[in-house]
Amino acid sequence: MTQENKISAGERARLGTLSGIVGISVNLLLFGIKLLAGLLSGSVAIIADSVNNLSDAGSSIITALSFKISEKRADREHPFGHARIEYISGLIVSFIIVLLGVELFKSSIKTIIKPSESAYTVLTFIILAASVIMKLLLALFYKKTGKKIDSVSLEAAAADSISDVLSTGVVITGALISKLTGFNIDGWLGAAVAVLIFISGIKLIKETTDPLLGTEPDPAYVKEIADEIMAYDGVLGMHDLVIHSYGSGRTYASVHVEVSQNKPVLESHELLDNIENDFIEKGIQLVAHLDPVNYDDPKVNKLRTKVTSIVRDINPKIDMHDFRVVLGSEHSNLIFDIDIPIDLEITDIEIKQLITEEIKKISEEYNPVITIDRGYERIGKTENEA
């Protein structure tokens, strides 16, 4: 599967912890040499930049610990495992970055109001240039490792490292201006770095909060799962595929699978068992619901086509499934479900009324019994669409 890792949970934790240790080492080294450069030059901007590296070292400690905790097996209190601790650690780091930005901004404002002389030397520029190179290499390391193990916290760390490169670039530019012109803009540079840190923290809060709240799965990933289900012999259709992620390697899904109502129940049940077991081997806990359907009755097929056309004419984003007909002496029930996208502004009463009016035009004897599902994407498939 595209979205799932091809490495074991133990290997993922090992690489994640290693990334944290590398981050701690690099950022502590940068903190030390930048702090020294800042104290020697008297630059509040460089000192601010060094404190930013210290916060990054703290972030790396939290990241390393989160990977160790996420490796823990599921227990009674946490039946879906501990993988989401990685998102929580990323959120904590994000708040630390925001608070750091605010405090550095306050210090910079004080320097703007009461500026002090800065003495930039060749050593100062060498240290800053070296820190840019080290941060770029660290960002590439985070990015590559984060992609390999599908880690949101390492992706965030990579983005944070790039923002550090930009902020240090601002400091270098300002130092050059001060050196060449004698015009002291140190406080303003410190404020600019603080703003960059603050913005980076806000972005990281959003990136780490989204997985906790629950986000829409990758459409390509959804399509891949749907295509795999439809490839099984005996599957006539599928719908209502819902995917939940509880962290990397902890994916749960449910789906309704349509099979012929003329097949023996045990045979159809075995088919769904095979589908579920195959997906477990791929790292997805899938629960498949059996939906017997009738595609052999010409009258039912004709009605299905007409009702599908009615639903699509109302809005092409609406999907219909589970269509069946219960014939009666005075009236016949047309029973079916429809999926309405979450962003479609139409009430359940309105959609039922519109569909009922159109079905009654076919014949007054038809009584539509409609179940409405909201929030599903249109991922239903039949053999004709597969």
Q: What's the CATH code of the domain at 336?
A: 3.30.70.1350
With respect to residue 384, please indicate whether it lies within any of the assigned structural domains. no
pLDDT tens profile 274-329: 999 999 888 788 999 888 887 778 888 899 899 999 998 988 888 888 888 887 77
| CA distance linking residue 319 with residue 336, whole number of Å | 11
Distances (CA, A) of 144 to 67, 138, 148, 294, 343: 17, 10, 6, 50, 35
Among candidate residues 151, 185, 213, the one where a domain is terminated: 213
Q: Is the domain of 284 the same as that of 367?
A: no
Could you tell me the residue range of the domain that residue 240 belongs to? Answer: 216-292
Residues 6+ apart with CB under 8 A from 277: none
Q: Is the domain of 178 the same as that of 47?
A: yes
pLDDT at position 82, please?
A: 64
What CATH number should be reported for the domain holding residue 193? Answer: 1.20.1510.10
Nearest residue to 3 (alpha-carbon basis) of 251, 344, 261: 251
Nearest residue to 73 (alpha-carbon basis) of 222, 217, 250: 250
Q: Is the domain of 59 the same as that of 170?
A: yes
Question: Quick one: average pLDDT of 162-167?
Answer: 79
With respect to residue 4, please indicate whether it lies within any of the assigned structural domains. no
Asked whether the predicted pLDDT for residue 248 surpasses 80, the reply is: no
User: pTM for the whole thing?
Assistant: 0.55
Among candidate residues 213, 238, 270, the one where a domain is terminated: 213
DSSP three-state, residue 168: helix
Number of domains in the chain: 3
With respect to residue 145, please indicate whether it lies within any of the assigned structural domains. yes
With respect to residue 28, please indicate whether it lies within any of the assigned structural domains. yes
Q: How sure is the predictor about 1, in pLDDT bands with cuts at 50, 70 and 90?
A: very low
pLDDT at position 318, please?
A: 85
Q: Is the domain of 41 the same as that of 185?
A: yes
Q: Is the domain of 168 the same as that of 221?
A: no
Q: Is the domain of 49 the same as that of 171?
A: yes
Q: How sure is the predictor about 199, in pLDDT bands with cuts at 50, 70 and 90?
A: confident
Nearest residue to 62 (alpha-carbon basis) of 87, 93, 40: 93
Q: Is the domain of 120 the same as that of 250?
A: no
C-alpha of 188 from chain center? 36
